[in-house]
């Protein structure tokens, strides 16, 4: 949620989730439907945040994304959300690679 400072100005910095919050959400065993929203938000963060944020996420977050992708691929579920989540993880991986130092 957007917080309002005492002067009444909306602070966007309060809206930025830390890499640790995403990692916590991804580890928490959220439903496939909730996972999609988390992944979409993560992709935007990976695209728009500075390289330092991306590197902070990458240490633990990158193996976690790959683990979730593997789990979804091995799942017998043919639900639409399963495929949407796999696609969104791949989009997150692309955003991660495009935002690395020297790329």
pLDDT digits (tens, 9 = 90+) for 79-98: 788 999 999 999 999 999 99
Token pair 């390289």 is found at: 51
Q: At a CB cut-off of 8 Å and minimum separation 6, what does 16 contact?
A: 45, 49
Do residues 23 and 60 lie in contact, with contact meaning Cβ atoms separated by under 8 Å? yes
pLDDT at 8 over 50: no
Q: pLDDT (tens digit, 9 = 90+) per residue, 26-72?
A: 999 898 889 999 999 999 999 999 999 999 999 999 999 999 999 99
Whole-model pTM: value is 0.80
For residue 51, what are its two tokens? Answer: 């390289």
Q: Of 12, 14, 21, 6, whose CA–CA distance to 61 is shortest? A: 21
Please, which residues have CB within 8 angstroms of residue 67's CB and are 6 or more apart in sequence? none
């Amino acid at each position: 949620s957007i917080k309002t400072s005492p002067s009444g100005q909306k602070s966007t910095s309060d809206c930025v989730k830390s890499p640790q919050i995403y990692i916590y959400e991804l580890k928490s065993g959220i439903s496939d439907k909730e996972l999609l929203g988390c992944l979409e938000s993560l992709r935007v963060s990976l695209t728009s945040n500075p390289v330092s944020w991306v590197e902070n996420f990458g240490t633990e977050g990158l193996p976690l994304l790959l683990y979730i992708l593997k789990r979804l691929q091995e799942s017998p579920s043919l639900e639409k959300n399963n495929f949407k989540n796999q696609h969104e993880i791949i989009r997150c991986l692309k955003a991660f690679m495009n935002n690395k130092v020297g790329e």
